[in-house]
Amino acid sequence: MTPTLPTLLVLDADPPPRLGRLTGRARIEHTDAAGLAGRLPTADVLLVWDFASHAVRDAWPGPGPRPRWVHAASAGVDHLMCPELAVSDTVVTNARGVFDQPIAEYVAALVLAVAKDLPRTLELQRERTWRHRETRRVAGTRACVIGSGPIGRAIARTLKALDVTTALVGRVPRTGVHGPGDLDRLISRADWVISAAPLTEQTHGMFDTRRFGVMQPSAVFVNVGRGGLVDEDALAEALRRRWIAGAALDVFASEPLGGENPLWGLPGLIVSPHMSGDTVGWRDELGSQFVELYERWAAGRPLRNVVDKKRGYVPGH
């Protein structure tokens, strides 16, 4: 008797994942957000390939069985977590490890671009205007990186290579990592305040009017974590009033950012479309990572990148 293959349900995004290595090892089915609720009861594994979708959060509380394992093809899992999933026996994993160095490089590029006034240089070139200016030296400046996971640590390493004095802040203090109690003191001295934290109940809206007021007027704020970490109205006020020198956002409370959103026209703000971790070949890397995890799961071996569903991220960093 032929054994029944596990059903792998993929919440699709375009382009779909390459899962050819799982041919004959899984019954692969695909769905969009509208069909997810009806397909969940028949799935053993759910691959959330559409990393921007909130469909899992909406569909999970419905009737019937649920997959034993959910994998998010993203570092953050806040978009899929709901109370019913959090208390279930379902294992949740994420794409930890894929985006660390690309995001660190992107942050370093933003720091250098702002310090060397590259946006203005490009504007002047388009205007065919020759205007000599002085720029900031990066070496010897201070950075505070909020988020001590793999992404935050990669950012800290990369900035240190530029001779930036870097402090790392995490959920709990430990060797080489400051705790939340040190955050205000550190950002008050930092030239670069870099947000790379997961979005949890504790971190939601942590960068608000008070926090931007703590920063020094020459500080630049960078968010490559989650949009919900930032009170965007408070950031807009801080930039308009010149409480801080500038900011760069790669993530937003609502994505994509609408053309009418006032953030586009704020002075000193660089807007990018959630692309800091997306280097050439990133989708293939995500697909290969999932296949390797599936092979472990099918063999009954412990999964890597298991999310603590109460905390909202992979512990142990």
Please give the positions annotated as active site: 226, 255, 274
How many helices (H) and strands (E) would you count in the chain?
A: 10, 11
Cα 182 from Cα 132, distance rounded (Å)? 40
Mention every residue, 6+ apart, whose C-beta is less than 8 A from residue 125: none
**DSSP 3-state of 271:** strand
Q: Computed from CA positions of residues 43, 47, 51, 57, in that sequence, does the dihedral angle turn out positive or negative? A: positive
Contacts of residue 201, defined as CB under 8 A and 6 or more positions apart, other chains included, come to none
d(C-alpha 59, C-alpha 80), whole Å: 10
Q: Which helix (H) or strand (E) holds 166?
A: strand 165-169
Residue 287 DSSP class: H
For 252, left (φ over 0), alpha (ψ -120 to 50), or beta? Answer: beta
Nearest by Cα to 258 from 281, 282, 232: 232
Q: How far apart are CA 303 and CA 297, in angstroms?
A: 6
Residue 218: CB atoms within 10 A of its CB come to: 12
Q: List, in order, residues 6 or more apart from 119 with CB less than 8 Å away.
A: 113, 270
Helix (H, G, I), strand (E, B) or coil at 27: strand
